[in-house]
Amino acid sequence: MVEIHVERTIAAPVEQVFDWLADPVNFTTAPLVLKAGYAKGCEPGAGAFREVTGVGMWGREEITAYDRPHSYSYLIVRAFPRFDHRGGTMTFTPSGDGTHVDWRSNYTHPVYVGGTLTEALSSRLLRSTFLRILSACARALEQ
């Protein structure tokens, strides 16, 4: 199983950081993410679906918990390549004049799509993507 864990403190109020990172359109700030958004008819909140298309991948995620501005959790319910997601969570904690973001995601790839070999590649790409999204959030919100 792969666990990706990234964190960053962003010099902006917790509500602004939460709203920026909860909007899937902002995921396109990472170079490998081509398109992202809520599925047709969905609005932010628990039970909503979002879709992310990237270079060589596609995923449909369900928001499983939404506690603005403290945290939200998601589960990838469909993906190409196949992805057995155990869940992801972003937690937002006030820290001085900013917000500490803690982002965790756990998953595996089945053997028939490469198993641990695919995990070795995807874990590097996803970690880099998560860090780039956090960096873009900081650039957008820090004054």
By DSSP bridging, strand 71-80 and strand 98-108 are unpaired
- Buried b / exposed e over 134-143, threshold 16 CB at 10 Å, is bebbbeebee
* DSSP, res 129: H
DSSP symbols for 67-104: ETTTEEEEEEEEEES--EEEEEEEEEEEETTEEEEEEE
Cα separation of 87 and 10, whole Å?
24
User: Each residue's pLDDT tens digit in the chain (143 positions)?
Assistant: 999 999 999 999 999 999 999 999 999 999 999 999 999 999 999 999 999 999 989 999 999 999 999 999 999 999 998 889 999 999 999 999 999 999 999 999 988 888 888 889 899 999 999 999 999 999 999 97
pLDDT at site 117: 85
User: What does pTM read for this prediction?
Assistant: 0.94
CA angle 66, 62, 123 (to 5 degrees): 100
Domains and CATH numbers, the chain: 2-141 (3.30.530.20)
